[in-house]
Structure 1
């Protein structure tokens, strides 16, 4: 009984058989380097044993099937280097077993579905190199199991949702190379489980929220290459658990 299927470097492949959904024991599916593949079959909804789905380097893929939300056992979803992917299906909100979601190198992606906040088991969310992503959904506040959040290389992102402060289990927050991100939400003060915060290459960031000084459990704080950052919050001196503080290449910091 087939448990793992990898399809790689099949440049002439345009469609996958609808019968793919009949692989009832399949636990891992990886499709990559199939640049002419137009879509995934709707039959994918029947892969109820699937735990890992990785899709990468499929440049003609414009959307993912709505049936993706029926993958009730899915724990890891990686989507990368899909240059024409313009949206994620709203059905993604039904992936209640999902623990890891990674989205990278999808320049046509402008928004993420509001239903993202319904991923009640999500522990890791990584978003990188999505050049036209302009916002994160407010529903992100409902990701109360989230432990790691990474956002990088998203130059169209100007703000982060205030609801970020509701991520009560968040332990690691990394924000990097978001050239137009101008401020962090004050709600960050409520991230009581946060142990590590890294901010790098955010030249539009001039100040950090005062609430940063309320992160009593933070152990590591890194601030790199923020050329216009002019001050740190005064209460930062009260971070009693802080073991590592690294500040580098912030020339306007006084």
Structure 2
């Protein structure tokens, strides 16, 4: 529905004399390839917890404009958001400023992950962050400020060759998953400073798996309770 420009999520209730949400019990919502879409006055569903937006740049970047959204958007109950195929720079993702309950963010195949202090601050409640098909050479530097982040996942990020040293500054990080990222050949020395409890690296990262299994580097991972290299091979040291 590439031509869809507006979705009014309320209707007038003659009985109550006020506007009511069209889908008050909606819990999950997926919107795909609606690049011009604006939703007003607010997201449908008072209890919606999950939103997936694929190719919906106008909605992502214009959220909160007085002309298109109501003030209730600032108290959205959403806890999980997936953004895919966005061409808008991440620092313009205004929707993030209105999701105070957000706990998990998945970013898939988005071309510009330039952040800003304001955007990073809006993610202060985030507990899990997942990057899929990342097209830039490294992770956004601003992520180091996400001190409440507990889980980080990199999947099919072929352009990434280095895990940054500032990984050790993510003081709450407990779970780190790397899948199908063949360019990553080693982990930073700062991994010894993390409080990781779980590390998973699949066997499609052969060079990285070999690095982890070397006697020299096993010591760097010794503090991690569980290290998983593939579904059939585990190390609980």
TM-score, structure 1 length as denominator? 0.64
User: What is aligned with 1:146?
Assistant: 149
Residue 194 (structure 2) aligns with: 191
- Supply the distance in 2 between the matched residues of 1:73 and 1:112 (Cα, whole angstroms): 26
The within-5 A match list for 1:54-203 is 54-56=51-53, 58-59=54-55, 61-62=56-57, 64-67=60-63, 70=74, 73-80=77-84, 82=85, 85-88=87-90, 89-91=92-94, 92=96, 95-104=99-108, 106=109, 108-115=110-117, 117-118=120-121, 119-130=123-134, 132-192=135-195, 194-200=196-202, 201-203=204-206
Paired position in structure 1 for 2:14: none
User: What stretches of structure 2 of length at least 5 have no aligned partner?
Assistant: 11-18, 65-72
Match of 2:225 among 197, 211, 219: 219
What is the total number of aligned residue pairs between the two structures? 207
Could you list the runs of 5+ residues in structure 1 that have no partner in the other structure?
Answer: 1-10, 225-243, 247-254
**Contact 1:42/1:66 (<8 A) preserved:** no
Kept in 2, the 8 Å contact 1:51–1:76? The answer is no
1:62–1:87 contact (8 Å) kept in structure 2: no
Counterparts in 2 of 1:26-45, with a 5 A limit? 28=27, 30-32=29-31, 34-35=32-33, 37-41=34-38, 43=40
Distance 1:46 1:52, change over 3 A: closer
User: Deviation digits for residues 14-52 of structure 1, max 9, x if unmatched?
Assistant: 2223x44886768745133x44x2233164668896753
Distance apart, 1:214 and its partner CA? 5.1
Q: Displacement, 1:54?
A: 1.8
- The DSSP-based 3-state class of the residue aligned with 1:178 is coil
C-alpha deviations, 1:199-238, integer Å up to 9, x for none? 23235547459786355642211235xxxxxxxxxxxxxx
RMSD over equivalenced CA pairs, Å: 3.7
* Per-residue Cα deviation, 1:116-148 (whole angstroms, up to 9, x for no partner): 532221111111233x13321112122222121
| Cα pair 1:48 1:72 within 8 Å, conserved | no
C-alpha distance in 1 between matches for 2:217 and 2:41: 45
**More strand per residue: 1 or 2?**
2
Shift of 1:97: 2.7
Query: Any conservation in 1 of the 2:61–2:88 contact (CA below 8 Å)?
Result: no
Instruction: Note the C-alpha offset of 1:188.
Output: 1.4
Structure 1 Cα separation of the partners of residues 159 and 97 of structure 2: 24
- State the partner residue of 2:68: none
What SS is found at the alignment partner of 2:6?
coil
If the length of structure 2 is used for normalisation, what is the TM-score? 0.67
Q: Which position in structure 2 is the counterpart of 1:241?
A: none
Residue 72 to residue 142, structure 1, CA distance change in 2 (3 Å) = farther
Deviations 1:54-98 (A, max 9, x none): 225x45x34522426945543221224x3x544333533664431
